[in-house]
Every structure is written in structure tokens, then in C-alpha cells.
Chain A
């Protein structure tokens, strides 16, 4: 068991700015995520959520400020970060089955020119069993439902054996039953992995998360599970009820 008193900073961002051409995409971001947290970040489309994840992943170099993952620079910390990218329909015509998609997650653990090892296959099999997709291993990814596909991408992120898991809009296009199943997988992972999930849909950030932040260029985060209504309004620039579809209490007040 890990020492609960000795929490590490999984993600530490200090006064970070990122510009897209000359327009700031992220302003003055400060974020401190303790190890073992499940953080949900909500914000409108175009609010910089994907950009923030890409900065943490080291895909985008911030123009100002400092970003650390378990004390390391993002590019050096990559081997401990798992990433589930935004669901994209454009990849579905690619000739690849479930097994090979998950196998791809092991590519950072093998060297160039080398074939995958029996150990790699074992890890992939376990991950597919964990997300209950092993029996679909020979299916083409286009033959799966949105929820099944999302679980495959979770499995791909898991075989990288991450300490930090980043999820970009994982609930997009998934029905409510599937969402619940999905959260149960994350719930099970929470004990070992720090999770950051971003979504534009407030109702998608459910009771399962520990902390909630609000992002629209600026990050509104108080290290709590509750969001102040004024932060939410400030972030979304419009009355909250319109976005929350009448169920804002799921986020605004803890159960």
C-alpha cells in the first residue's frame, strides 16, 4: 500500500500560458493535482480543454510557465502517462482490429525494429479482459459500438502502465448505460492511477470524480468537488442551467 501521508504531485502547473497564433488559448493556468485524484475538468467547446491535455502530454509547448508530471517535464514523463484521445470517426476506416489497437499501446515499451514480445501480449490480454473486450479482439474497430470502442482505447492507454491517465471527452457519443459501465472501470482504476478527464458536458462529470475544475481559457479550481455557480457562469459566459439541462446539482453539490 502506498503511504497516504506522502502524496506526490501528479500534475503541477504554474502560471502557464499557451497561445494559438497570437490568441491566448490558455491564460494563467495554475493546477496542482495530487496523486490518486480523479479530476474532472469541464468547460465549453473551444475553451482550451484539449490544449491543456496536450500541454500536459508534451504535444504542445507552453509559451510561458512551468508544467511538471510527477516532478518531470512532460516529454520526459511520457512513459508514465496514458492518453485516451477525443473520439474521432475519421480513424474508423483504418484496417485495424481491436487487438492491434491495444497492442499499439505497448509501442513505447519496446524498441525500434523489435517485434512485440509474449510479455506484451500478456499485458494486452489482461487489459482487454479488464475492460471486458477480450472476446471482441478480432473485430474491426468500426464494427463496435461507441462505448465498446471507448473501452478499447482505455485498454490501449492501460497497457502503457500509466500513473496518470488523461481522458479527452470520453463520454461523447456514449449512451447513459455505457457511461455508467465506463465510470465503473475508472472507479476501479482510481486506486492506482491519477485520472484527469475533460468534458464540455457538465452532466458527464458525475459523482465518481473527486475534484472538479472549470476551464474557459482560465482555470477555475479550488481543489474541491463543488464548483461555485459564479465560476461556472464566468467560464461558460451564459446562464448555467442552459448547459446543465436542469441537473446542475450533480456537480454543484456533493452527494
Chain B
């Protein structure tokens, strides 16, 4: 089994899986405890506009999706905070407008769009080295941000009103957190694709919540869970010759469901 590790594509896949698990383990914890899964889904799907733009301009879609998803995050964040539009309505609109733009751009691009399925559903076995460098830079940025802003992020997540009263720049911090979510989505596009990112953001973090009451430990556990599931999914997909993104997600979902019978105590009381 170990001999497959000598292939470069497999080594890249393992590094990509690890980098994706680190980003989504850390940021996924905020997504889960702040209950902003739907916002994250909105940002992810709206980012499809950026993929389409990349095809249209003839550049690496990962570079056009970067500004696009950051912009989507800021728009969703500002609309939620500054207008009276219901949050889920705003997200729903942005979600489909972004995707519509993507479809339009791809339609305008001559010829057909190669690798389109890769961006939608991921393929960890074909991650180029350049994309791995981008993922590494984003991971470093995420770790540094969460290390430096740990107490501020905890305050706005637990009690936004109190954070406001304490004089924290709550709106700026919230928007910055949404931008980190957008960046996390970029990291995961190559691994599981835009459509499937939500599973990677939610399952490891939500599973880790069952084992600890502390935010930092949740993050560490979520990274470990994410890595284990991603690697199992990766090897399963390689040996069974099935799509890797979907296999990783299904492995995670299976792991998540398996924990229920073994759950010692139910913390969701009180």
C-alpha cells in the first residue's frame, strides 16, 4: 500500500488534504458555533461566479475565485448587518446570482470548459503544485489570524452585544471572519469542490464538539478528524476508482453517524 506514496500526485494529494483539513478544522469551528453554515454555503456557491470569470478571462480560476469569494463574503456580511433584508433571503439571492454569473461567463467562453467538474466536486488527485502553495499561504494567514484574534473572535461569537458594549470593532471583526471563511473555501475547492465544501466545514467541527467544551481544543480535534477522514476517503477513492471529493464527504458522514451509538453522555441537555 505504501508504494503509492512515491507518486508525486499522491504526495500532492496528501499535502492538499492536510492543508484543507487544517483550514476547515479551525474555521469550521467558528462556522458551527456561530451557526453560520448557511452564510458559508452562500459564499461558497456564489464563488462559482469567480470560477466562470476565470474561464472567461483564460486565467487559473483559483485566482479569479479569490477576489470573487471575498467580495461575496463582504456583500453578505454588510447586507446582513446594515439592511433590513432577512438574512436567509439575502443569502439565497447572492447564492444563486453568483452561480448564474458563473454559468453566464462559461457560456460566453468559446469552446467547452475543461475541469469544470473538478471545481464543482473536487479532485484531490489532480491538485497542481502552484495551488498547493496558495493553499499553504492561506493556511498560514488563517492560523495567524485566529492566534492573534482568538479572544476577540470568541467574544463576538459568544455574545456580540457584549463585545459591542466592550468597545470591540464587532462589524470589522465579523466581516474579517467571513473573509477567512471565503479563504477557507478557496483552500477546499481543489479537494472537495465548491458544492461539497459545507460538509468539510461542518462535520469535523461538529464531531469535535462532542468531545470537548473548549474552543481551542475543538479546533485541534476538528483538524485531526478532518485529516483522518480526508486520508481514508482519498485512499478509498484511489483503490475503488471513484470520485475523491464525494468519497471524502461520504467517509466523513459515515464517521459522523458512527459516533452516535458510542456517545457516552449527551451534552445537548440543559
Give the interface of A toward B (CB within 8 A).
Answer: 57-59, 78-79, 81, 83, 85, 91-97, 100-101, 103-105, 107-108, 110, 112-113, 115-116, 140, 142-143, 156, 160
Contacts and interface: CB of A to CB of B under 8 A. Distances in A.
Contacts of B212: 95
22 contacts: A58-B165, A78-B166, A83-B162, A93-B33, A95-B218, A96-B154, A96-B158, A100-B154, A104-B151, A104-B154, A104-B155, A104-B158, A104-B159, A104-B162, A107-B151, A107-B155, A107-B166, A107-B168, A108-B165, A116-B151, A140-B213, A160-B166
A150 to B, nearest CB: 14
A210 to B, nearest CB: 24
Nearest to B169: A112
Nearest to A108: B166
Given A59-B161, A59-B165, A107-B152, 17 more contacts: A57-B165, A78-B166, A79-B167, A85-B159, A85-B162, A91-B158, A93-B33, A95-B212, A104-B159, A104-B162, A105-B166, A107-B166, A107-B168, A110-B151, A112-B149, A113-B149, A140-B267
Interface in B27-56: 33
A143 B265 CA distance: 13
A164 to B, nearest CB: 12
A78 B167 contact: yes
Contact of A142 (B33, B151, B270): B270
B213 A91 contact: no
B145 to A, nearest CB: 10
Contacts of A79: 167
Contacts of B168: 107-108
B164 interface: yes
A96 B150 CA distance: 13
A95 B209 contact: yes
Contacts of B269: 142
Nearest to A110: B151
A97 B166 contact: no
B214 interface: yes
Contact of B148 (A78, A92, A113): A113
Interface in B123-168: 148-149, 151-152, 154-155, 157-159, 161-168
A160 B165 CA distance: 11
A93 B268 contact: yes
Contacts of A103: 151
Given A92-B270, A107-B151, A143-B270, A97 B164 contact: no
A178 B155 CA distance: 28
Contact of A94 (B33, B149, B164, B167): B33
B215 interface: yes
Given A85-B159, A95-B209, A112-B149, A59 B164 contact: yes
B207 to A, nearest CB: 13
Nearest to A54: B161
Nearest to A115: B151
Given A113-B148, A115-B151, A97 B158 contact: no
A233 to B, nearest CB: 33
B214 A83 contact: no
Interface in B208-252: 209, 212-215, 218
B157 A94 contact: yes
B214 A97 contact: yes
A92 B267 CA distance: 10
Contacts of A81: 165
B81 to A, nearest CB: 13
B215 A95 contact: yes
A79 B168 CA distance: 11
Contacts of A96: 154, 158, 213-215
Contacts of B33: 93-95
A97 B213 contact: yes
Contacts of B157: 94
